[in-house]
Structure 1
């Protein structure tokens, strides 16, 4: 083979397809028994399409990324909406990201857009410089909204306080003065019409690609090849030489509700301050599937020392970034191994960002090969 790719998620599969179309022979291995990585979806026992590892909502502003993926799927237009229940004893739900509806409903006000902007300016706590996620939130919406919607959720999700996380985590969630209740505002928002797994099956269906699932990297590390693209945890690749990079894990509680056609008014409801779970997602909103029952998943964050825990999120703060830099220095010295993806680059990638990075890497590798003189 020319290239061994470790991991059959977006990073590995997109790289594999692009290299295969350039004439390379590619072997893709994944330790899980399926392709699609964390985007893997399946029909549950009741026949409802569910996302095994929590909701994956596709959104992008990149016409090129959306167009490239459109070769392997048709799309169902879908704009994700999220409600948050800051106090489960009342059950009152408010739009998230915070918008005009959130503020008017929460405080019994009737503000227009200018009024909401003035309200936020009045309650915000200016922070300079902005370093942490606490700085971001307090600088944007002030202390009361921070305590109701952000601090508890962050503590559950990351096992850290807002003040212990890099600012980029909270900066992902905007604040709006209008009534736009979409979670994302990207130009392209859609779900693969037949699901992610089917998209990946088409993506990997190329005569130059061989896929082996249920295979650990160690089992194929000795195979002869020109190069390796590794999409797993970078510290694992190097035997945790400098110590384990911290990752946050999740436990997923899937449940089918027979006879319940709809549990929630929107796809996801957050519970920032109550319960062990951070959010509940109802999958029929995402897929548009018609079914007499409904299936949901509760996400319960956990540490990596929990039984069966897998790494899902790099934990961005200065200490962890410094540790990653030591591994990155090893990676930069490699000439035949390339690291790509959320775990390999210790970066909080969205799906479209991973696709763009994979396309860029594959095209760079192809260009390098073509530039080499013929033997």
Structure 2
């Protein structure tokens, strides 16, 4: 790629910000635009009016097995070591989740060792020769009772669909354990940005070759007099093409933040799932995540919705078929790179977005 090109990056989340920094580092002039009034995308955090650091768009817990990606982000943040733990509420009682040996012993009043837990799962599971759906995954692993207690109604709330209507990958993300490990993630690197995500993104975007324009629609920039040699687009791919083939389905979220002035802690762990009760799916208490010390606390409840900002691509075969129509167009673009969860219609974790962005930059720089 020729030196000192003008590059437009649409979106100031992980994908856009990492691309911006890497392209700026090798001399390109980069304009980053975002329709929101802040960078950091859905990872954006800030101190609420009571001084508690909260995640505006729900909990974002960083974890990765990639030393390369952890070291990359370490250039822009210090870390607070944190291992996320989750509980699931069934019939008014909290149990470790993902399901482990303690879950079985507490739920069924048993005293299983590791082999006993493995034997229990083998006894109750409903084997599936072909594992096509999320229902297949869970029934094949833990059987019907645990499926109905922990997964069925949570999935219905989260996705607005029955697990039998979702691809297997959704449930495959959640492990089942015969030991007593109650960490939600088992990745090698688990930590939170010490001063928050917003500060980390400020550091990422702090480069003389990077200009950031917030509260800006990218098509307004395209229609301006500025010219760009290349575009990195991280928004919804169907929006880029003005929904030519129709809207890609996304699941959205509504967040209900609450501050509790008269108590230091609200719950025992970072996140508590409510699979069978209430309209919300889970409650997160931010002080667990950040290590912040305070005599009061702030929580957020998450309500999945069909309308609103796109958060999760809905993993169904018909949606993949529609996405591929847009991807055919995207693959023909010589001056546009599509990267990120919305642009690639993929459920990426944060570290996966960073990896995808670094790979996208490599391909951009390879072009002559």
Normalising by structure 2, we get a TM-score of 0.98
2:305 to 296, 302, 306: 302
1:292 match: 295
Query: Which secondary structure state, in structure 2, belongs to the residue aligned with residue 366 of structure 1?
Result: helix
2:310 match: 311
5+ long unaligned stretches in structure 2: none
2:159 match: 158
2:279 to 276, 281, 305: 276
Query: Which secondary structure state, in structure 2, belongs to the residue aligned with residue 118 of structure 1?
Result: helix
1:47 match: 51
> What are the within-5 Å matches in structure 2 for residues 128-277 of structure 1?
128-222=129-223, 223-277=226-280
1:123 aligns with 2:124: yes
2:67 match: 63
Query: Which secondary structure state, in structure 2, belongs to the residue aligned with residue 18 of structure 1?
Result: helix
Q: Deviations over 1:309-342 (max 9, x none)?
A: 1110000010111111111111011111111111
Q: Deviations over 1:117-175 (max 9, x none)?
A: 00000000001111100000000000000000000000000000000000000000000
* Structure-2 separation of matches of 1:200 and 1:163: 39
* Structure-2 separation of matches of 1:217 and 1:155: 35
Deviation at 1:86, TM superposition (A): 2.1
Query: Which secondary structure state, in structure 1, belongs to the residue aligned with residue 93 of structure 2?
Result: coil
* Structure-2 separation of matches of 1:109 and 1:52: 41
* Structure-1 separation of matches of 2:288 and 2:32: 32
In the TM superposition, structure 1's runs of 4+ consecutive aligned residues that sit over 6 Å from their partners are none
Does the CA contact (< 8 Å) of 1:18 and 1:363 recur in 2?
Answer: no
In the comparison of the two structures, how many residue pairs are matched?
362
Deviation at 1:366, TM superposition (A): 1.7
* Structure-2 separation of matches of 1:273 and 1:163: 18
Query: Which secondary structure state, in structure 1, belongs to the residue aligned with residue 18 of structure 2?
Result: helix
Does the CA contact (< 8 Å) of 1:153 and 1:272 recur in 2?
Answer: yes
Query: Which secondary structure state, in structure 2, belongs to the residue aligned with residue 228 of structure 1?
Result: strand
Query: Which secondary structure state, in structure 1, belongs to the residue aligned with residue 360 of structure 2?
Result: helix
Does the CA contact (< 8 Å) of 1:65 and 1:356 recur in 2?
Answer: yes
- The alignment yields a C-alpha RMSD, in angstroms, of 0.7
Does the CA contact (< 8 Å) of 1:261 and 1:294 recur in 2?
Answer: yes
* Structure-2 separation of matches of 1:75 and 1:258: 28
Query: Which secondary structure state, in structure 2, belongs to the residue aligned with residue 354 of structure 1?
Result: helix
> What are the within-5 Å matches in structure 2 for residues 76-95 of structure 1?
76-87=80-91, 91-95=92-96
Does the CA contact (< 8 Å) of 1:133 and 1:168 recur in 2?
Answer: yes
Deviation at 1:218, TM superposition (A): 1.4
* Structure-2 separation of matches of 1:274 and 1:302: 16
Q: Deviations over 1:277-328 (max 9, x none)?
A: 0000000000000111000000000012xxxx11100000101111111111
Q: Deviations over 1:223-275 (max 9, x none)?
A: 30111111010001111111100000000000000021011110000000110
* Structure-2 separation of matches of 1:121 and 1:251: 38
Query: Which secondary structure state, in structure 1, belongs to the residue aligned with residue 358 of structure 2?
Result: helix
Deviation at 1:221, TM superposition (A): 1.3
* Structure-2 separation of matches of 1:221 and 1:312: 25
1:29 to 25, 30, 33: 33
Query: Which secondary structure state, in structure 2, belongs to the residue aligned with residue 166 of structure 1?
Result: coil
* Structure-1 separation of matches of 2:221 and 2:29: 15
